[in-house]
Structure 1
Amino acid sequence: MSKVLTRLAFAAAVVGQVLALYWPRVDIPGDGVPGTDKAVHVLIFAAVMATGLLAGIPAKWLALGLAAHAVLSELIQHLALPNRSGDLLDLVADLVGIALGWYVIAYVRRHSTARTAPSA
């Protein structure tokens, strides 16, 4: 995948994350289903982590930045956004998403390298 496409994917994931986290009221399809909100948190943080890694952002710094953003976003939701509240379980879901995105990209890279390595 080209650098331009990976950077565009990363930018799109960040925009989606910001909208999901800071929109004053979020109506999630299937919101009556238990765990939907937590799944969304996992997915948006995993998407930013994965696309950021593909775009070439160093994993450690990206993970630390996203973890800080996870904490900050819950504080902002709790203190400043109407109809929103901070939730410790949302923060946990965010951190799980960061780890999941990192794991998926590491797994794909490890296995794609193993497949393309010349056999002895």
Structure 2
Amino acid sequence: MRALPFGLAVLLSLVVLFLPASGVPSSPPGTDKVVHLLLFAVLAVTARTAGWRAAPVLAGLLGYAALSEVLQALLPLGRSGDVLDGLVDVAGALLGVGVSALVLRYRDRRVAAGRSGG
């Protein structure tokens, strides 16, 4: 059950990253970069809270970022691959791993304090 949020995040990412261009709503410039950043941060956080280690999560998300941009360029979706989107994806993954490290560290300290009665 701990992996369910990650599975849902993956499904969300597939919709967001591979929706044909005709289905993508218009938005102010730069909005797509924010979406990429947050999407990959959510993927990283949910993977880490599912119990997966940071290095494999980052490696997997790096590969996913590169593959998604290549597929966007190759598939007949009316979309194009963008190196900057891929870099923002990686930044989002790094952000997510960093945030999850802080959250997990805080949680572990609270659990330890609860065990020691303090």
TM-score (norm 1): 0.85
Q: Offset of 1:11 from its aligned partner?
A: 0.7
Q: 1 CA distance for matches of 2:33 and 2:76?
A: 18
TM-score (norm 2): 0.86
Match for 1:79 among 45, 68, 74?
74
Aligned twin of 1:22: 18
Match for 1:43 among 35, 38, 42?
38
- Note the aligned Cα RMSD (angstroms): 1.8
Does the alignment pair 1:9 with 2:18? no
Q: Offset of 1:70 from its aligned partner?
A: 0.5
Letter in 1 for 2:62: A
Equivalenced residues, count: 114
Q: Offset of 1:74 from its aligned partner?
A: 0.5
2:11 is paired with a residue whose SS is helix
Give me the identity figure in percent. 39
Match for 1:105 among 100, 110, 115?
100
What whole-Å deviation, never above 9, does each CA across 1:68-112 have from its counterpart, x for those lacking one? 110111011112233100111101110011001101110112223
Gaps of 5+ in 2: none
The answer as to whether partners of 2:19 and 2:77 remain within 8 angstroms in 1 is no
User: Structure 1 runs of 4+ off > 2 angstroms?
Assistant: 111-120
- In the superposition, relative to structure 1, how do residues 28 and 97 fare at CA in structure 2: closer, same or farther (>3 Å)? farther
Does the alignment pair 1:63 with 2:61? no
The answer as to whether partners of 2:18 and 2:77 remain within 8 angstroms in 1 is no
